[in-house]
Amino acid sequence: MKTHRSVHELVRSAYGAAAKNSSSCCSSSCCGGPKPAASEGELGLSCGNPVAFSKIKKGMTVLDLGSGAGKDVFIAAPLTGPKGRVIGVDMTPEMLKLAAGNLLKFTARTGLRNVEFRRGVIEKLPVRDGEADLIISNCVINLSPDKPAVFREAFRALRPGGSIVVSDIVLNRELPPALKEHAGLYAACVAGAQQRREYLGAIKAAGFKGIKLLADRTYRAADLELDPFTAKAGKTLDGAASSITVFALKKK
């Protein structure tokens, strides 16, 4: 059984390698298929498109959990405008280094100075109570060893009336024990994923209301064939996981 610390180290190592190699450890097959070119040359480590569902308005403060090198941050920032803010939180130094470089390019290109990146884990966010109007996350919470803590922190970080829109991987059935302990499948977004009912239950238990599924796609064996980790377990994993996008509200 992996400890919280060992899971963080596994994920940090895998995503650090992805940043150095400019290739995704969260594979294209597991995390939603081929991605469009990411803004500012960023890595497309994702399983959905939470920004597209978020209805971001001018002046909002948006918080991105597990922001990586900044893909969704840089998409959201122009939508908030110069009076808004977008904060990215990530625990991987290599990703934050990429984000810093991308931020320089973004600022030079747009003139906007409304983006910042903070180092931290999503189970203990480096933000004030009620600092955000909107929280987004893209294929990251499934990697956390304590998902209920992530949603409790998200609830704390939101102002009353704020909302979350998160894209993630959930399980539709239990995985065999050997696959649940497979480090490669963990980094590929599968082994660490939570049962769908438990994931949605953790959102509700944190205090959120109005929980809605905005997108829901089940992975089939054919989706997994191109990835070296998931291909060998393709038949076992067929139908076992889905990519979902969830909305939830912190009521006033």
> Cα(216)–Cα(109) distance, rounded to whole angstroms?
35
CATH number at residue 143: 3.40.50.150
Q: What is the pLDDT of residue 11?
A: 52
Q: Which domain holds residue 213?
A: 4-249
Q: What is the pLDDT of residue 40?
A: 43
What band does 146 get if pLDDT is binned at 50, 70 and 90? very high
Model pTM above 0.85: no
Among 181, 249, 124, smallest CA distance to 6 is for 181
What band does 177 get if pLDDT is binned at 50, 70 and 90? low
Q: What is the pLDDT of residue 240?
A: 81
pLDDT top residue among 139 and 159 = 159
Q: What is the pLDDT of residue 90?
A: 95
Task: Compute the average pLDDT of residues 100-108.
Answer: 96
Cβ atoms 154, 123 nearer than 8 A: no
What band does 221 get if pLDDT is binned at 50, 70 and 90? low
Q: What is the pLDDT of residue 28?
A: 33
Task: Compute the average pLDDT of residues 217-244.
Answer: 68
Q: What is the pLDDT of residue 227?
A: 54
Rg (CA), the chain: 17
The pair of three-digit structure tokens given for residue 41, joined into one six-digit string: 């040359």
Number of domains forming the structure of the chain: 1
For residue range 10-47, list pLDDT tens digits in order.
Answer: 555 554 455 455 533 333 333 333 333 333 443 344 57
pLDDT top residue among 38 and 116 = 116
Task: Compute the average pLDDT of residues 124-147.
Answer: 95
Q: What is the pLDDT of residue 214?
A: 97
Q: What is the pLDDT of residue 119?
A: 96
Percent of the residues in the chain that have a pLDDT greater than 90, as a whole number = 55
pLDDT top residue among 73 and 227 = 73
pLDDT top residue among 213 and 242 = 213
Q: What is the pLDDT of residue 24?
A: 35
Task: Compute the average pLDDT of residues 179-200.
Answer: 71
The pairing of strands 85-90 and 115-119 is parallel
> Cα(189)–Cα(182) distance, rounded to whole angstroms?
11
Q: Over the chain, what is the mean pLDDT?
A: 81
